[in-house]
Structure 1
Amino acid sequence: MRLFLAAALLALPTALRAAPISFDEALRLAEIRAPELRAREASVDAATSAAIAADRLPDPKLDLAIKDLPVTGPDAGRFNRDDFTMQVIGISQEFINPAKRRARALRAHADIDVAEAEQAVAAQDIRLATALAWIDLHYAKRRLKELDLLDGELDDLQATVSARLASGAARPAQALEPEQLRAQLADRRSALTADIARYRAQLTRFTGDTAADTTGDLPPLAVDGDALRAGLAALPLLRAYDARTLAADAETGLARADKRPDWTVNAAYGRREPNFGDLVTVGVTIDLPLFAKKRQDPRIAARASEATRARLDREAAEREVAAALSADLAMHRMHDEQLANARTRLVPLAKQRAQLDLESFGARRLDLGTALLSTLALAEAEVDALAREGEVARDAVRIIFTYGEARR
C-alpha cells in the first residue's frame, strides 16, 4: 500500500505538488517518497522471503549411472553381455539434523529482525533530516522578512533626511548613510537568500517536491528528559543492536548444530542383462563429526566470541546514546535560556535604544550615523532572536526524533 501511494503521488503533475507544505505534511511525504526507505522495505521483503526456505530440506537428487561396463576383453564396450554391467537409476534425499534446521530458522528470523531494525533507523534518520530542513527553511524566511521590514523603515528615515537636507539642517554626506545601511542589509539578504535556497534543496531532497516551501507554524515540541531517558532501550538504534545480538546467537547455535550428524537416504534400481536378475540398492549415509576439537569446536568458539562482541557493542551504544542525550539536553537548556534572554532583554533594550536615538536625531541632538547604527543593531537583535528560536526548535526536534517517539 505504501509503494502504491508513493507511485500515485509521484505521478501527480508538478503544479499540483508545488504548494507549500506544513511540518507534518513534509514528514508524511518524506516517509512515502524517500528512496532510502523503499530500499529498506525491499531488504525486509528479501529477508522475509529467504526465511521461508531457511529450514527446508535440500532438494532430492536423481542418480543415473552405468556400472561395471567392461572396457577390456571380448565384451569391451558391449552392454548386457555379462552379469556385472547394470543401468542404474536412483534417488537420494539428504536429511539435515533437526537442531541445524531450527538454528537456520532462528538465523533467518534474526535477519528479518535486523532488516526491520535497520528500516526503523533509516526512517528515523529521514524524518529527522526532513524536520530539520523544514525548520531551517521556515526560520530563514522569517529572518529575511525582518530585514524587509527594516528596509521599509529606512524609507521613512530617508524621507526625514531629505527634508533636513532641503532645510539645510543636515550635511549632504548624511544623505548617503541610509544607502550605506541598505548596502549592509543587502549583504545580509544575499546570505539569507542563499541559505533559503540551500534549505529548500534539502527539503526537496526528502519530500520530492521540486518547489518545496513551508507553510504554517511549527507544532508544539515538549522535551521531557526523564521520559526520554526511561525509553532509551526502545530506540531503533538500540533495537538494531539487539537484533544483531540475536543474529550472532543464532550463528552460535548453528555452529553447535554442526556437531550433530546429517544423514542421506538413497535408493537405486539396477537393470542387468535379461538372463540375470535386476538389483535394488537401499542405503543410508551418515556424517561422522569425529574430530570436533579441530573442526566444529573452533567455529563454535569463534561464533560465541562474536556474540560476546555484539553484546558489548550494544552496551557501548547504550552508554553513548545516554551520554549524547544528556549533552543534547544541556545544549537545549542553554539555547532556551539564550532565547529567553534575547526576548526579554536584548531585543527590548535594542528597540528602546533605537527609538531614543531616532528621537534624539529628530531633535537634532544626535548625528544620523549613530541613529542608523542603533537601527541596524535592533534589526540584528531581532534577527538573532529568530535564529535563537530556530536553534531551540532544532534542538527540540533533534532530541525528540532521536531519543523519543520518532513518529508523530
Structure 2
Amino acid sequence: MRLALFPAILLAAGIVLPSPAAADPLTYAEALARAAANAPSLKARAATTDAARSSAIAADRLPDPTLDLGISGFPVTGPNAGSLTRDDFTMATIGFSQQFPNLAKRHARAQRAAAEIGVAQAGELVEARNVRLETALAWIDLHYGERRLAQLDLLSASLDDLQKTVTARLASGSARPSQALEPEQLRAAVADRRAEMVAVVAQARARLARYTGNSDPEVSGDPPALEVDPDRLRASLDTLPALRALDAGIAAAEADVRMARADKRPDWRVGVSYGRRDPAFGDLASVGVSVDLPLFAGRRQNPKIDASKSQAQRARFDREAGERELVAALDADLADHAMHHERLRNARETLVPLAKRRAELDRDSYAAGKLDLGTALLSTLALAEAEVETLNREAEVARDAVRITITYQEERP
C-alpha cells in the first residue's frame, strides 16, 4: 500500500510556500534603508559628530576677557579709618585683562578639535556598518527561518494522512498494534524541530524590529545575489571604517603631542585698569603684562610630552594590529564561505538526492510488504531532515556573503 506521506515529502524540495500574511513586508534593500533611517544608535552617533563640530568652533579662540573691580588703599585704622575720601591712597579701580595663550597652543587645540571630529565621524561610519550588518543578518535569518518552518509544517501536515493509513492497516489486521505509535513518535520529533525553528524566527524578527523600528516586521522577496571578490576586498581594507577610526585616533594622539609641546612656550596676559581717587589727589591708570615662565620643563612639560608621545606610539601600534586583525578575519571568513559553499553543493547534489532515492525505495518496499513501517518512517524523516539541512546550509552561504560584503567592502564617500 502506498503511503500518502511520501509524495508530499518528495514534492517539498520543489515547493516554495508563500509566507503568511505580512504585517509590514520588507525586502532586503528596504530593511537596510529603514534601519539606516530609524536606528537610534545612528542618530546618537550623528549627534556626537555635531557636538564635535560645534566644539571645534571655539577650540582656538582667545579666552573671554576678565573684568576687575576693586578698592585699593582703603584705611582700616588711624584717623581716616573707614573713609573713602579722606585718604590720598584710597582708590576705586576698574580694569580689564585678556589672556593670550601662545599661538602654538591655539593651533594645537584647533588640530585636536579637528581630530575629534574625525574620531566622531569614524565612529559614525563604524556604527552605520554595524547596523547595516545586523539588519542584513536578521533579514536573512528571518527569511530562511520561515522557509524552514514551512518545510516542517508541510511534514507535520502529512502526518495526518500517515495516521489514517496506519489506522486502516490496523483495522485490516495487516499492521501490528505497536505501529500505531510510530506516527506519533515522528510527530513528536517534528514538533521538537518546529519549536526550535519558531524560536529562531521570533529571535530574528525581534532583531529586525530593533533596527528598522517595525513592531512586527515580515520579509518579502529573495535574498540578495552578492558576489564575493577576495582580491577587491583585500585591496580596499584601508578604506574600512574600523581602520579609519584607528587613523583618527592616531591624529588625535599626535595633536596631543603638539599640545604638550606648546606648553613649553609662554602664555601672556595684558591688563589695564583705571583708579578713581579723591579729586584733590587725581586719578591713576595702569597697564601691565604678565608672562608665564616655563623654567622647570624637565619636571613639568617634558614628562607630559613623553607621555603623549607614548600614547601616539600606542595608537600607531593599535592601527597596525587592527589591520592585521582585519586581514586575518577576512581570510578566515573567506575560508568559511568556501567551506559552506562546498557543503551546500554536497547537500544539493548528493545528500538530498540520496535521501530522496532511499525514501522512494523504502516506500516501494513497504508497499510490497518487504519492509516494516518504522524503517520506512525513518527514511521519510531522513529526507525531511536533509531538506531542512539544505536550507540551513543555504542560509549559511547567504549569511557569509552578507557578512563579508558588508564588513569588508570599500567605504565610498
Q: Tell whether the 8 Å contact from 1:18 to 1:209 is kept in structure 2 after alignment.
A: no
Question: How many angstroms apart in 2 are the aligned matches of 1:405 and 1:156?
Answer: 54
Question: How many angstroms apart in 2 are the aligned matches of 1:104 and 1:165?
Answer: 90
Q: C-alpha deviations, 1:247-280, integer Å up to 9, x for none?
A: 0000000111111111111111111111112111
Q: Partner residue of 1:12?
A: none
Is the deviation greater in 28-37 or in 345-354?
28-37
Q: C-alpha deviations, 1:301-324, integer Å up to 9, x for none?
A: 111111001000110111111111
Q: Partner residue of 1:71?
A: 76
Match of 2:111 among 81, 106, 115: 106
Match of 1:333 among 335, 338, 359: 338
Q: Partner residue of 1:119?
A: 124
**CA deviation after TM superposition for structure 1 residue 81, in Å:** 1.7
Q: Partner residue of 2:6?
A: none
Q: C-alpha deviations, 1:59-86, integer Å up to 9, x for none?
A: 1111111111122211112112232111
**CA deviation after TM superposition for structure 1 residue 102, in Å:** 0.6
Question: How many angstroms apart in 1 are the aligned matches of 2:393 and 2:411?
Answer: 24
TM-score computed with the length of structure 2 as normaliser? 0.91
Query: Are 1:62 and 2:58 counterparts?
Result: no
Aligned counterparts, 1:4-403, within 5 A: 18-403=23-408
Question: How many angstroms apart in 2 are the aligned matches of 1:69 and 1:151?
Answer: 101
Q: Tell whether the 8 Å contact from 2:238 to 2:244 is kept in structure 1 after alignment.
A: yes
Q: C-alpha deviations, 1:205-236, integer Å up to 9, x for none?
A: 22221112211110111111111111111111
Question: How many angstroms apart in 2 are the aligned matches of 1:262 and 1:216?
Answer: 66
What secondary structure, in the 3-state scheme, does the structure 2 residue paired with 1:62 have? strand
Letter of the structure 2 residue corresponding to residue 349 of structure 1: L
Question: How many angstroms apart in 2 are the aligned matches of 1:308 and 1:231?
Answer: 25
What secondary structure, in the 3-state scheme, does the structure 1 residue paired with 2:26 have? coil
What secondary structure, in the 3-state scheme, does the structure 2 residue paired with 1:83 have? coil
State the Cα RMSD in Å.
1.7
Letter of the structure 1 residue corresponding to residue 202 of structure 2: A
Is the deviation greater in 98-107 or in 81-90?
81-90
TM-score computed with the length of structure 1 as normaliser? 0.92
Question: How many angstroms apart in 1 are the aligned matches of 2:93 and 2:181?
Answer: 107
Q: C-alpha deviations, 1:346-404, integer Å up to 9, x for none?
A: 00110111011111111222111111110000000000000011111111111111111
What are the ranges of 5 or more consecutive residues in structure 2 without an aligned counterpart? 1-21
Q: Partner residue of 2:13?
A: none
**CA deviation after TM superposition for structure 1 residue 177, in Å:** 2.1
> What is the count of residue pairs matched by the alignment?
392
Letter of the structure 2 residue corresponding to residue 314 of structure 1: R
What secondary structure, in the 3-state scheme, does the structure 2 residue paired with 1:294 have? coil
Letter of the structure 2 residue corresponding to residue 60 of structure 1: P
What secondary structure, in the 3-state scheme, does the structure 2 residue paired with 1:253 have? helix
What secondary structure, in the 3-state scheme, does the structure 2 residue paired with 1:48 have? helix
**CA deviation after TM superposition for structure 1 residue 162, in Å:** 4.2
Question: How many angstroms apart in 2 are the aligned matches of 1:365 and 1:156?
Answer: 21
Q: Tell whether the 8 Å contact from 2:240 to 2:411 is kept in structure 1 after alignment.
A: no
Q: C-alpha deviations, 1:312-350, integer Å up to 9, x for none?
A: 011011111111111111111111100110000000110
Q: Tell whether the 8 Å contact from 1:400 to 1:406 is kept in structure 2 after alignment.
A: no
What are the ranges of 5 or more consecutive residues in structure 1 without an aligned counterpart? 1-16
Letter of the structure 2 residue corresponding to residue 46 of structure 1: A
Q: Call closer, same or farther: CA 1:185–1:200 in 2, change over 3 Å.
A: same
Question: How many angstroms apart in 2 are the aligned matches of 1:66 and 1:103?
Answer: 39
**CA deviation after TM superposition for structure 1 residue 29, in Å:** 1.6
Q: Percent identity?
A: 63
